[in-house]
Amino acid sequence: MGKRLVYLDNAAATAMDSRVRAAMTPYLESEYGNPGAIYSQGRMAKQALESARQEVSLVLGCRPEEIVFTGSGTESDNLAVFGVARAYVAKRKRIITSSIEHHAVLRPAEYLMKKEGFESVFLKPDEFGRISPESIQAALTPETTLVSIMYANNEIGTINTIRAIADVIAAYKKKIGRGMSDAPFFHTDACQAAPYLNLNVTELGVDLMTINGSKMYGPKGTGLLYVRRGVRLEPMIVGGGQELRMRSGTENVAGIVGLARALSIATENRETESARLVQLRDHLTNGILERIPKVVLNGHSTERLPNNVNVSILDIEGEAMLLYLDEEGVAASTGSACDSLSFDPSHVILGIGRPYEYARASMRFTLGRSTTSEDIDYVLAILPPMVEKLRRISPVKLEVGGEKVN
C-alpha cells in the first residue's frame, strides 16, 4: 500500500475540473479555427469566444465588452497597472498599492517609479495583513492615477474590505469634482478570491479586476481583466487588435472557454464549498496550534479565505519542512509559487511586522475540493514528530521574546 497523497497547495495551482476539460475538448480537437477568420470554422471559434465572454459577464455583473481575456493573472495585473498609468500619464503620475501585494502588481509599480518617473506609494498593512480604507484616504491626491489593493492575500489569506476602499475612492473623486470616468481608478487582484468570494463588480465598486484560471480548477495560462467602460488602457501587446484592441494575438479559444466554465462552476459551488473548507481549515489550524509549541498564525483568524492556513513554525526552516512533508506525500508551500525560485523570506510575512526568522519559518497550507477530513487528520498526525525532529537538528533556536506564540 502506497503512502497517502495530500495536495495542500491549491493557492499555487488547482486540478482541472473534468467539466472544464469537457468544455475545452472540442476547441482542442475538431473546432480549431481562428476566431478572426470569416469562414465557418472561424465563425464557430468566434462564437465560442463571445459565449465565454457572456458567461463571465453574468458572473461579474458587467457588460461582455468589459472583459479582456489574457494569458495569466500576472499579465492581467500588469495590464491594469501599466495600462492605466500610461493611458493617463499626461495628467497624473501617482500609484497607490500595498507592500504585500503579489509581485505582479509590486514589480510594475516599482518599474513605473524607477523608470518612468511615477510616484509609487506602498502602504503598510496592519498586523493581520489588512489595508485600511483610512490609509487609502490619507494617501489619495489629485495626482493619483490608480489604487491597486488585492481582494485576498495570496500568502496569508487575509481578506480586504474592497467595497469600503472603493467607497473612499468614490467619495474622494466626488469631493474634487471628478466623475467615474476620471482617475483615480481602483483595481483589485481577485485571483485567490475568485472561488470563494463575491465577484460582482458593481457591488464591489471596482474599476478593474484580475482573475486567472489556474486558481479555480480551470486551465493554466488563462486570465482575464475586467475593465469598466470609460477606463482607458494603453495596451502592452500590439498587433492585430484582438481582445478589444487591448491584447493582440490569436485568442486561446479552448483556454478561454475553460476559464469561463471554471468561473461559473466555482460561483455555483461557492457557498457550500466555502462552508465545508472553513471547517477543515479551522480543524487544521487548531490542531497545529494545539499540538506543536512555538507556532504563530499569520493573517487574520477569521477574515481570511476559507482554504488558507499560514503558520510560522519557529526554530525550523520552511524549505526543510517542505521536503519532509513531500517524503510523506504532502504538498504544501512556504509562500507564493511565483517566488519559489527565490531564497528570500516572504515579503508578506515581513510586511505584517513579523521578524525575519518568522518569515523563514512560514508554511502555507491551502485546501481544495479534493481535501477531506482524513487528509487533515493525516497531516496533524505526521507534522508534530517532523517538527520535533527538525528542531533537534536545527543549529539556531529563536528566542521568542514578547511575541505571543502557542
CATH number at 375 reads 3.90.1150.10
**Looking at 232, 250, 266, which one is the last position of a domain?**
266
pLDDT given for residue 2 in this prediction: 60
**pLDDT number for residue 147:** 98
Are 199 and 67 within one domain? yes
Is residue 237 domain-shared with residue 374, that is, in the same domain? no
Is 250 a domain residue?
Answer: yes
Same domain, 55 and 175: yes
Kindly tell me the number of DSSP H helices and DSSP E strands found in the chain: 12, 12
Give a yes or no: residue 1 inside a domain: no
**Beta strands across the sheet bearing 362-366:** 295-297, 308-313, 362-366
Looking at the structure, do residues 338 and 250 belong to the same domain, yes or no? Answer: no
Say yes or no: 262 and 280 in one domain. no
Task: Tell me: do 92 and 209 sit in the same domain.
Answer: yes
Considering the domain architecture, whether residues 221 and 325 belong to the same structural domain is answered as no
Are 187 and 26 in contact by the 8 Å Cβ rule? The answer is no
Q: Which residue has the cell 473546432?
A: 31
Domain end call among 219, 249, 266: 266
Question: Edge-to-edge, what's the strand order for the sheet holding 94-98?
Answer: 67-70, 223-227, 208-212, 185-189, 144-148, 94-98, 119-123
Q: What is the pLDDT of residue 345?
A: 87
Whether 183 and 332 map to the same domain: the answer is no
Q: Which of 338, 380, 390, 405 is catalytic?
A: 338
Give the pLDDT score at 402: 45
SS3 29: coil
**Are residues 253 and 284 both part of a single domain?**
no
Q: Is the pTM above the cut of 0.85?
A: yes
Looking at the fold, whether 27 and 174 belong to one and the same domain comes out as yes
Is residue 122 helix, strand or coil?
A: strand
Which range marks the domain in which residue 374 is found?
6-14+270-393
Q: What is the pLDDT of residue 1?
A: 43
Q: Does any domain span residue 401? A: no
Note whether 60 and 175 are same-domain residues: yes
DSSP secondary structure code for residue 158 in this structure: B
Question: Which phi-psi region, left, alpha or beta, contains residue 145 (left: φ > 0; alpha: ψ -120 to 50)?
Answer: alpha
Is 52 contained in some domain?
yes
3-state secondary structure of 160: coil
- pLDDT of 401: 46
338 is catalytic: yes
d(CA 366, CA 356): 23
User: Are residues 241 and 129 part of one domain?
Assistant: yes
Q: Confirm whether 230 is domain-assigned.
A: yes
- Choose one of 212, 247, 266: the last residue of a domain: 266
Q: Is residue 372 part of a domain?
A: yes
* 65: in domain: yes
pLDDT in the model for residue 225: 98
Q: What is the CA radius of gyration of the chain?
A: 22
pLDDT of residue 90: 85
Q: How many domains does one find in the chain?
A: 2
Task: With a cut of 50, list the residues of the chain below it in pLDDT.
Answer: 1, 340, 401-402
- Specify if 30 maps to a domain: yes
Assign residue 210 the CATH number of its domain: 3.40.640.10
